[in-house]
Chains A and B, each alone.
Chain A
Amino acid sequence: MDAIQKELLAQIADLHEVPQGAYNLRVNSQGAGRNTTENIDIVTKKDKDGIDIIIKPGTKHESVHIPVLIAQTGLEELVYNDFYIGEDADVTIVAGCGIHNGGDKSSRHDGVHTFHVGKNARIKYVEKHYGTGEGTGARIMNPQTIVHIEEGGYMEMDTVQIKGVDSTVRVTKADLADDAKLVIKEKIMTHGRQYAKTDFTVDLNGEGCGADVMSRSVARDDSKQEFVSRINGNNKCNGHTECDAILMDHGCVTAVPELTANHLDASLIHEAAIGKIAGEQIIKLMTLGLTEEEAEAQIVSGFLK
C-alpha cells in the first residue's frame, strides 16, 4: 500500500496495518488481501462483483474488516457484499470506503450490503465514509444496506461520514422478526456544495421487536441534506426515530418522518430538531475563555463525537 492508501485506511477503519482476524481489502476494484479464520469465511461471488462473508453459528468476539479504497480518478464500481451471521454469533464488522480523487473525473463506489442476522445473533456494524484528494472530480458513494434480523437477533449500525464525500444517497432497509432489535446511529457532516441523503425504511414485523434510528448531522457552507425515516409497525413493537441537525452558513436540512402503525400495540415516536447552534452555548464557552470560532468547533465536534 502506498501512503495515500494507508491514509484512507486509517481514516475509514482506524487501521494502520493489516487487521487482526478476518479481512478483505479491496483497492481500486481489485482484491488486495484477504484472511479467513476457522469461523469466518470470505468467498468471492461468481455471478457479480462482491463477496460473501459467512460467519459460523456461535462465533464469539471475532471481527471482520472489509475496507474499500479508491485512489484512481474516474473509477466507478458497483459491489455486492452479503453477510451471513449464524445463530448466537456475536461479532463486529467494520466496513468503510475511502476515496482519494486527485483527478478531474468522478470516482464512485456503490455498495450493496445485505445482512442475514441469525436467531439470537448480535452484530455491531461500523461503516465510515471519507473522501479526500485535490482533484476537481467528484467523490461519490451510494451505499445500500439491507438487513434481515431473525428472532431475538440484534444489530447496531454506526455510520459516519465526516469529510470529503461530494454526493451520497444512503438507503437502508430492514425487516425484523419477533424480539429482534435494530439500533442505527448515523453521523454526517457536509460542507461546500455537498449533498447527502439518507433513506431508512424499517419494517417491524415481529412481536416485541424494536428499532431506534438516530441521526446527528451538521450542514455547513452551501451543502444540502435530506433525512427520510420510515418506520412501519406491523406488530406489537417499539419504534423511535430522531433527527438532530445543526445548520451553519447556508446549509439546508430536510427531515421527513413517516410512521405507520398497522397494529394497535405498535408504539412509534419521531423527533426532529433542526437549527443553528444556540447562541447561549457559544456565550457559555466564551465565558470559559474560548473564542467564538473555538466555541463553535467545540460544539460541532462534541455533537458529532
Chain B
Amino acid sequence: MLELKDICFDVNEENVNKEILKGINLTINDKEFVVITGPNGGGKSTLAKVIAGINKPTSGRIIFDGEDITDKNITERAKSGIGFAFQQPVRFKGITVKDLIKLAAGEDISTAGACDYLASVGLCAREYINREVNASLSGGELKRIEIATIIARKTKLSLFDEPEAGIDLWSFNNLIDVFQKMHDEIQGSIVIISHQERILNIADRIVVVSDGRIAHVGSKDEVLPGLLGSSAGSCKYFSAPEKEVSK
C-alpha cells in the first residue's frame, strides 16, 4: 500500500517560487488499478516522479508498505518494489533492448525470456532484441520497450506516465490488454497517468489532479460522467479542460 501524506512540491524559477503540488493526500491500495488524469501542467507527472524518488517533495511524507520512504533515493525505492515507466523513454548508445530488459528483470534472463516481454507489448522480438536503444528506434517502439521493462520488473507498484502517448491506434487495444494481463499476473498495484478514455474505463479508481491538487477521486462511474459529459470549457473538475479528456 502506498500512502501520500500532504505532499507539496515547489520549484524555484527565476527566483519566483512556484507550487507544483499543493498538499496531495492519496492512498493506493494493494492490487488496485488507479488512473490519474487531469489537465496538462496540473502536476500529474511531478507526482509520479515524487513517488519514484526522482523529485524530492518539499514537504509531506510517503509511506510504502508501512515504511517511510520519503528520504530514500531512486535506487532504494526501485529495490523496495516501485517501477516507473517514463513518459519520454531514454535513449542509450550501445545498450541493447536485451540488455535493458535484463537489467529490469534483475537477472540474467535468456533471449527467449526477453523475447516474451517484447511479444507481450506487440513487438516482434527477433527484430528488436539485439538492437540498440538509440535514435534508430521510433518513439512508439521506444515507448513499448519502456513498458516491457516495467513488466519485466514485476514490481508491487508500477507507475506509467502517459503510456499511450506516441502509440498508434492499431496497437492501442493491445496496450489495454497488456495492463489488464499485467494486473492479473503480477498482482501488484498499477498507477497510470492517462488522458485516454479507454484506459480510464479499466480503472478501479480515477484520480483527477488539477492545479497541484486532487480535484476528485472516485470510481469510474462517479468520475467519468463529469469528465466526459462536459463540453469543452465547462468540465466540473477543472477550469482549463484539455481536449484529450473531453473527447
Contacts and interface: CB of A to CB of B under 8 A. Distances in A.
A281 B78 contact: no
A214 B78 CA distance: 36
Interface stretch (A88-96, A151-159, A289-297): A289-297
Interface residues of A, number: 22
Interface in A265-305: 278, 280-281, 283-292, 298-299, 301-305
- Which label, helix, strand, loop or mixed, suits the secondary structure of the A interface? helix
Interface stretch (B19-27, B84-92, B199-207): B84-92
A216 B96 CA distance: 16
B92 A299 contact: yes
Given A283-B54, A283-B74, A284-B86, A289 B106 contact: yes
Nearest to A289: B78
B83 A303 contact: no
A244 interface: yes
B79 A244 contact: no
Given A283-B54, A287-B52, A287-B83, A298 B93 contact: no
A299 B54 CA distance: 19
Interface string B66-83: 000000011100110001
Interface in B21-50: none
A244 B135 CA distance: 14
Given A281-B90, A284-B86, A290 B103 contact: yes
A302 B94 contact: yes
A298 B93 CA distance: 11
Nearest to B83: A287
A302 B83 contact: no
A287 B100 CA distance: 12
Interface in A212-228: 216
Given A278-B90, A288-B153, A299 B95 contact: yes
Contacts of B106: 288-289
Nearest to A303: B94
Contacts of A288: 78, 100, 103-104, 106, 149, 153
A286 B94 CA distance: 18
A287 B93 contact: no
B99 interface: yes
Nearest to B84: A287
Interface of A: 216, 244, 278, 280-281, 283-292, 298-299, 301-305
17 contacts: A280-B90, A283-B54, A283-B90, A285-B103, A286-B73, A287-B83, A288-B103, A288-B104, A288-B106, A288-B149, A289-B106, A299-B95, A302-B92, A302-B99, A303-B93, A304-B94, A305-B94
